[in-house]
Amino acid sequence: MIIVPIKEGENIERALKKFKRKFEKTGAIRELRSRKNFEKPSEKRRAAKMKAIYVQHLQLEDE
């Protein structure tokens, strides 16, 4: 459970922003989306490998 302490006189928008940030860090939405459609482990590895190649290519272009 996410608990967001609110100080005396603190704006509700600020508290909502804190809550949203904490909720994003838990990764609940990301996990729900990943569980929605099953992805084979081999496909996950392939995607991770392709991302690593892409990032490496971008880093080489900067140099």
34-55 per-position pLDDT tens digit: 899 999 999 999 999 999 999 9
Provide the percentage of residues in the chain whose pLDDT is more than 90: 76
Give SS3 for 30.
helix
Alpha-carbon span 39 to 37, nearest angstrom = 6
Rg value, the chain, Cα? 19
Alpha-carbon span 45 to 48, nearest angstrom = 5
Q: Domain residue spans in the chain? A: 12-62
- What pLDDT does 62 receive? 86
Mean pLDDT of 17-37: 92
Q: Is the pLDDT of residue 22 over 90?
A: yes
Nearest CA to 2 among 22, 17, 21? 22
pTM, whole model, 2 decimals?
Answer: 0.54
